């Protein structure tokens, strides 16, 4: 067994993250003595340079707002990460830093678990790293998608009820409503939602964002980001441990 291996998570204002507890529980369950998992809260992405040179660092997860910015600091990208243009998992092996995207894996599993046959058009709310992984999965599954962000043709100010009615899958990919700002909610025409809709909010803390609460009040099937998070974490663990197999 490899001893003294360090893992962690980089992001900004991420003390709320579930990752540390998740991986520490995993180390305990697998009776791994030499592993640790730390939260690396970085004010700026360039601070990652110091982290990368840490002895015994096996890899790290990446979250908001660095999923795209981290790419400049890596030697190689997996096919998926390259196509998506965002990285949420980094492996350091023989001093080579490789970026992966396990968000896509986690989101695909979540979507396929809940999607109904009539749900074949989606609205992606947001255009950051997580939204890019979502777009990749929807393309792969042949589901047409429209991105709604502050800078797109359809934006949060002109998104209307009819557009929502015409897109039975809604994926909320922005950080709006994340702990501790649990009362915040995206501007969204909730009256366009019905029991025919599947609404996935990628946020997992809190369990029920204001967005999910508003959507469920309209009868939509709602799912938070916890299962996706678990699945992407398991995939990251697989990546970090490939060289032991």
Has residue 181 been placed in a domain? Answer: yes
CATH number of domain containing 118: 3.40.50.720
Q: Are residues 73 and 129 in the same domain?
A: no
Domain interval for residue 42: 5-101
Q: Are residues 113 and 208 in the same domain?
A: yes
Last residue of a domain, one of 66, 101, 136: 101
Has residue 241 been placed in a domain? Answer: no
Q: What is the pLDDT of residues 163-190, one digit of tens each?
A: 999 999 999 999 999 999 999 999 999 9
Q: Are residues 119 and 156 in the same domain?
A: yes
Does the pLDDT at position 1 exceed 50? no
Q: Are residues 59 and 125 in the same domain?
A: no
Has residue 147 been placed in a domain? Answer: yes
Q: Are residues 80 and 36 in the same domain?
A: yes
Peptide bond into 206 cis (omega under 30): yes
Q: Are residues 133 and 214 in the same domain?
A: yes
Instruction: Answer for the pair 177, 129: CB distance below 8 angstroms, yes or no.
Output: no
The least confident of 22-26, 53-57, 68-72, 78-82 is 53-57
Q: Are residues 94 and 127 in the same domain?
A: no
- As a whole-number percent, the residues of the chain with pLDDT over 70 amount to 98
What is the pLDDT at residue 66?
96
Q: Residue 125 half-sphere exposure, CB side, CA atoms within 13 Å?
A: 25
Last residue of a domain, one of 101, 116, 141: 101
Among residues 111, 113, 115, 82, the alpha carbon closest in space to that of 99 is found at: 82
Q: Are residues 126 and 185 in the same domain?
A: yes
Has residue 81 been placed in a domain? Answer: yes
Q: Are residues 129 and 208 in the same domain?
A: yes
Q: Are residues 37 and 119 in the same domain?
A: no
Q: Is 67 a catalytic residue?
A: yes
Has residue 88 been placed in a domain? Answer: yes
Please give the tally of structural domains in the chain. 2
Instruction: Answer for the pair 239, 59: CB distance below 8 angstroms, yes or no.
Output: yes
Has residue 220 been placed in a domain? Answer: yes
Q: What is the pLDDT of residues 75-86, one digit of tens each?
A: 999 999 999 999
Global confidence as pTM: 0.92
Q: Of 5, 29, 33, 67, which is the active-site residue? A: 67
Q: Which residues contact 209 (CB under 8 A, 6 or more apart)?
A: 172, 177, 178, 182, 185, 201, 203, 224
Q: What is the pLDDT of residues 183-216, one digit of tens each?
A: 999 999 999 999 999 999 999 999 999 999 999 9
Q: Are residues 161 and 134 in the same domain?
A: yes
Q: Are residues 171 and 155 in the same domain?
A: yes
Last residue of a domain, one of 45, 73, 101: 101
What is the pLDDT at residue 3?
57
Residues 84-103 have a mean pLDDT of 96
């Amino acid at each position: 067994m490899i001893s003294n291996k360090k893992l962690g998570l980089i992001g900004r204002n991420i003390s709320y993250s579930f990752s540390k507890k998740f991986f520490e529980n995993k180390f305990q369950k697998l009776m791994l003595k030499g592993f640790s998992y730390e939260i690396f809260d970085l004010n700026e992405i360039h601070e990652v340079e110091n982290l990368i040179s840490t002895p015994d660092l096996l890899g790290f997860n990446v979250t908001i707002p660095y999923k795209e910015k981290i790419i400049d600091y890596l030697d190689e990208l997996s096919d998926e990460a390259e196509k998506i243009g965002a990285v949420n998992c980094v492996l350091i092996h023989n001093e080579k830093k490789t970026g992966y995207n396990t968000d896509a894996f986690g989101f695909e599993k979540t979507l396929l678990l809940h999607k109904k046959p009539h749900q074949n058009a989606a609205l992606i709310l947001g255009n950051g790293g997580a939204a890019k992984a979502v777009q990749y999965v929807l393309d792969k599954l042949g589901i047409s998608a429209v991105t709604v962000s502050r800078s797109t043709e359809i934006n949060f100010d002109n998104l209307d009820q009819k557009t929502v009615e015409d897109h039975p899958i809604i994926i909320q990919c922005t950080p709006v409503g994340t702990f501790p700002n649990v009362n915040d909610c995206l501007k969204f025409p909730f009256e366009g939602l019905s029991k025919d809709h599947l609404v996935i909010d990628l946020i997992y803390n809190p369990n029920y964002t204001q967005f999910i609460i508003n959507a469920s009040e309209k009868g939509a099937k709602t799912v938070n980001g916890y299962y996706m998070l678990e699945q992407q974490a398991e995939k990251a663990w697989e990546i970090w441990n490939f060289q032991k197999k």
